[in-house]
Amino acid sequence: MTNQSKKPWGGVFDGATDPRVEKFTESVSFDHRLYAQDVRGSVAHAHMLAAIGVLTQGECQKIVAGLEQIAKEIADGSFVFRQELEDVHMNIEHALIEQIGDVGRKLHTGRSRNDQVSTDFRLWIRDAIDRLQEKIIELQRAYVWRCAQDEGVVLPGYTHMQRAQPVLANHYWLAYCEKFQRDLERLVDCRKRVNQLPLGTAALAGTTIAIDRQMVADELGFEGVVANSLDSSSDRDFAIEFAFALTLVAEHLSTWAEEWILWATCEFGFLRLPQAFCTGSSIMPQKINPDVLELIRGKTARVVGNLQSLLVLVKGLPLAYNRDLQEDKPRVFDSADTVEACVELASAVVTGAELNRKTISEKLDRGYLDATTLMEHLIGLGIPQRSAHEIIGQLVATAIKQNVPLADLPLEEFQSAHAALDEKVYEVLGVQRAIEAFASYGSTAPDQVAQQVAAWRKRLL
């Protein structure tokens, strides 16, 4: 015979819960992280119950004082969470009743754990979004800070991991500012849907008590109230959308990390990583391993996996609350923690790294980065793009055979390729001249990049 404990909420049950079930169904081991949000929501709910006459002002004050004391005990580590009470909500409510007696039993009037957990979770995600936004802005500032350090540096741009065209280093840094700006905008947009109050929709159908949901929404800073109680009880769109936004942040970080891992190799030699964010080898004394970047890349897999888990979790659920939804929080908590830590470390790595300007410059004439600029020079002379493409391709083939840059080919080679090519061809050849030839909005043209850098500085610094 196993030891069994009495259900803390009583109700229709006349027996006790098998301790194996208690262990299997508990969520307090992870949802205790919602304690501050649970207390905030309960305080607002108590204020509303007092306003509609369910609680006296004296009872409300006792409840609020009790909740604040419990929050203090949890914060300082003296509060003992009990597994048999299942979750953070029951642990706090049970402690409140033990502290202030039957008055505490009135707090749950007009609500259910279903709408309570959704409220707590929305508050937690809202707080997480606000924190992450600040960290992403700091990462953008790190990239903009680099622009002053790397003014005028030219990098080889790649497609298919093959050298393609030259780009200014500042153009590269601002590319990531743009990516993370979209991430910020997604988080802002997600926050609008997170910031709707479910409290008061109760278990699934609402309540017969004339509660004032808007009052609670106003106190908790929600922009509105959820309109349909059935939808409210089953909705986890807000959590999945947040997880999706986190996944894109992680994907962008992973792309950056992969590039910098390559750039820091001897084969590329473009970058010196800050040693405080690298590790050594247990056997090879010369190694400076980019472990932080590798882990940022690796942890992205966890974030992607969490999103997939959430999507699968809700795919077959009918309307209203189902216990499956208990499994949403570990995935969201993990993704939020992971991305927040990755963004914070990324900022430090970005500001601490140095470009190997000499190595980059010495290799810039490799890969015929000025070929496309030369092709567009031909287009400017009235030659159709497809014809110009073929002509320059033949010139590149000649340069490859001679093992020289395009700029080192004699004029006779250009004129034999097309009669329209004269000595002015040398005015567009070479990496620096190719950079200066760019003209379109959003390109790596020096004046365009300077304008964008100025705009980002004004926005961020």
Q: Are strands 224-225 and 196-197 parallel, antiparallel or unpaired?
A: parallel
For residue 188, the number of C-alpha atoms closer than 13 Å in the C-beta half-sphere is 9
Q: Identify whether 160 is a catalytic site residue.
A: yes
Cα dihedral 29, 34, 40, 45, rounded to 10, equals -70
Distance CA 437, CA 430 (A): 11
Catalytic residue among 78, 112, 160, 171: 160
Q: Identify whether 229 is a catalytic site residue.
A: no
Catalytic residue among 32, 112, 229, 281: 281
Closest by CA position to 15, among listed 26, 1, 31, 30? 1
Distance CA 290, CA 292 (A): 6
Burial of 369 by CB count in 10 Å (0-12 exposed, 13-18 middle, 19+ buried)? buried
Tracing tokens 């749950």 back to the chain, one arrives at 108
Q: 353 CB contacts (<8 Å, ≥6 apart)?
A: 260, 271, 272, 273, 274
Closest by CA position to 172, among listed 461, 432, 454, 443? 443
The sign of the torsion formed by the CA atoms of 8, 9, 10, 13 equals: negative
Residues with catalytic annotation?
160, 281
